[in-house]
Amino acid sequence: MGLKGFVEGGIASIIAGASTHPLDLIKVRMQLQGESNPALVQAYRPAVAALNTPNGYISLHIAPPPRVGLISIGTQIIKSEGAAALFSGVSATILRQTLYSTTRMGLYDILKQKWSDHHSDSDSTAKLPIMKKIVAGLIAGSVGAAVGNPADVAMVRMQADGRLPIEQRRNYKSVVDAISQMSKQEGIASLWRGSALTVNRAMIVTASQLATYDQAKEMILEKGVMSDGIGTHVTASFAAGFVASVASNPIDVIKTRVMNMRLEAGGVAPYSGALDCAMKTVRTEGVMALYKGFIPTISRQGPFTVVLFVTLEQVRKLFKDL
């Protein structure tokens, strides 16, 4: 397998990521719904500066805007920002898939082959126990996430930018511009903001997605339900997408919020870390806030996983004799 596994996985991941980008953007916007906006409180400070309150602060309750769903947000984006806005940050998505998914897909295949009792493509998956597939996914996901985190941060920010008031927008021109500006304004370390969350999410997604696909495909073929064709690949992909969505959504919400938070000079960060973000989210919005954006997540994860694995199987056929 070797290098070929990385190339095959990379091609399939880039195609899947680019084609489902609008759904991912809507998911990010939904996950940020209900989040408190420190900038609004800052705007009130001149008016309350004379009040005799500790440290000059005053508690203000600002009602969040009403929450809307997948179709409403998509329509709203098109009306207010234009249809092209649905592809905001697509350059970051492509870079992220190139770094993150190419690494995780290729490494997963290498580990799967290495740990299998058989070394042919047809036997390796079937002979590998489910727990070894999961461990391979955990390792591959963690390495891929560490490599792709800068592009992930840039992608989240570019996707979320349109929801901010014009004067607060970052207006990154491309993923290169985003990474360059973050490095200059916030330091190199900002490129790995939320990396612990990214790694944890990637481990969960990769282990659940790849292991479920392999296991579902194996079961379908063993029971003779379908032959090894598009039908089997699509069915196994949907199963993998559903499991990955359920397992990863809570940490994805926290990751999105931590990566998107704005740090003003001399200001206080909205969250001190992942745990603080999770606690504040649950405290102010309820436990189910961790499943915000689940409908677009599964709406995106389903098609993404189908495109990913169907494309991967076809690319493997093309590269089989290379």
User: Looking at residue 56, what is its pLDDT?
Assistant: 47
Count of Cβ atoms closer than 10 Å to residue 270 Cβ: 18
Helices (H), the chain: 2-19, 21-31, 38-48, 70-81, 90-96, 102-115, 121-127, 130-160, 175-186, 195-222, 230-260, 274-285, 294-319
42 CB-near residues (< 8 Å, 6+ apart): 264, 267
Q: Which residues of 50-80 are buried (b: 16+ CB within 10 A; e: fewer)?
A: eeeeeeeeeeeeeeeeeeeebeebbeebeee
User: Looking at residue 40, what is its pLDDT?
Assistant: 40
Q: Tens digits of per-residue pLDDT, 237-254?
A: 999 999 999 999 999 899
Q: What are the distances in angstroms from CA 87 to CA 160, 167, 272, 320?
A: 11, 21, 31, 33
The stretches in the chain having pLDDT less than 50 are: 38-62, 119, 122-125
**CA-CA distance, 232 to 216, in Å (whole number)?**
9
User: Looking at residue 65, what is its pLDDT?
Assistant: 55
User: Looking at residue 57, what is its pLDDT?
Assistant: 45
- For the 2-319 domain, the top CATH level (class) is mainly alpha
Provide the residue ranges of all domains of the chain, joining segments of one domain with +: 2-319
1 CB-near residues (< 8 Å, 6+ apart): 109, 110, 113, 121
Three-state SS letters, 222-289: HCCCCCCCHHHHHHHHHHHHHHHHHHHHHHHHHHHHHHHCCCCCCCCCCCCCHHHHHHHHHHHHCHHH
